């Protein structure tokens, strides 16, 4: 299984909901010994999900990364918020354009989940 999540919300509830969904999905695949590749594409207001300190959930995000979930941020989002990648959690990867990445993944056969 291969799936790419898209999150744009900066709100706590939406982010917690996605983190819960990721854990539920990993529990499902772990129980069935199913291989899964998961990416989370973060853009728009959701960039605060990837901050290392304080709000919102760096431990939860790091724990998911420890289970091989990849977290990707859009370069356009970094630029429009005057953020540098090194202000974010150290494992965050940068993609040139969030939507382009989501399109490419889907056209390569990945499933898509809009948070």
Interface residues toward its own copies, by CB under 8 A: 1-3, 6, 8, 17, 20-22, 24-25, 27-29, 44, 74, 76, 96-100, 102-104, 106-107, 109, 111-114
What are phi and psi for residue 94, nearest 5 degrees? Answer: -110, 130
Cβ at position 101, least distance to its own copies in Å: 9
* Cβ proximity of 84 and 48 under 8 Å: no
Considering beta carbons, is residue 22 or 42 the nearer one to its own copies?
22
Considering beta carbons, is residue 21 or 68 the nearer one to its own copies?
21
Considering beta carbons, is residue 23 or 87 the nearer one to its own copies?
23
According to DSSP, residue 96 is labeled: S
Cβ at position 103, least distance to its own copies in Å: 4
Cβ at position 17, least distance to its own copies in Å: 6
CA atoms within 13 A on the CB side of 98: 23
* Tokens found for residue 115: 């948070």
Gap between the Cα atoms of 51 and 55, Å rounded = 8
Query: Which residues is 111 bridged to in the sheet?
Result: 3
Considering beta carbons, is residue 25 or 89 the nearer one to its own copies?
25
Gap between the Cα atoms of 71 and 79, Å rounded = 17
Cβ at position 114, least distance to its own copies in Å: 4
């Amino acid at each position: 299984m291969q799936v790419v999540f898209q999150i744009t919300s900066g709100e706590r509830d939406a982010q917690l909901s996605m983190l819960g969904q990721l854990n539920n999905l990993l529990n499902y695949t772990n129980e069935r010994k199913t291989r899964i590749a998961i990416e989370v594409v973060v853009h728009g207001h959701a960039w605060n999900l990837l901050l290392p300190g304080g709000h919102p959930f760096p431990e939860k995000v790091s724990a998911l990364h420890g289970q091989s979930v990849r977290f990707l941020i859009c370069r356009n989002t970094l630029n429009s918020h005057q953020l540098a990648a090194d202000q974010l959690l150290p494992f965050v990867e940068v993609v040139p354009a969030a939507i382009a990445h989501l399109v490419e993944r889907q056209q390569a056969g990945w499933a898509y989940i809009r948070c």
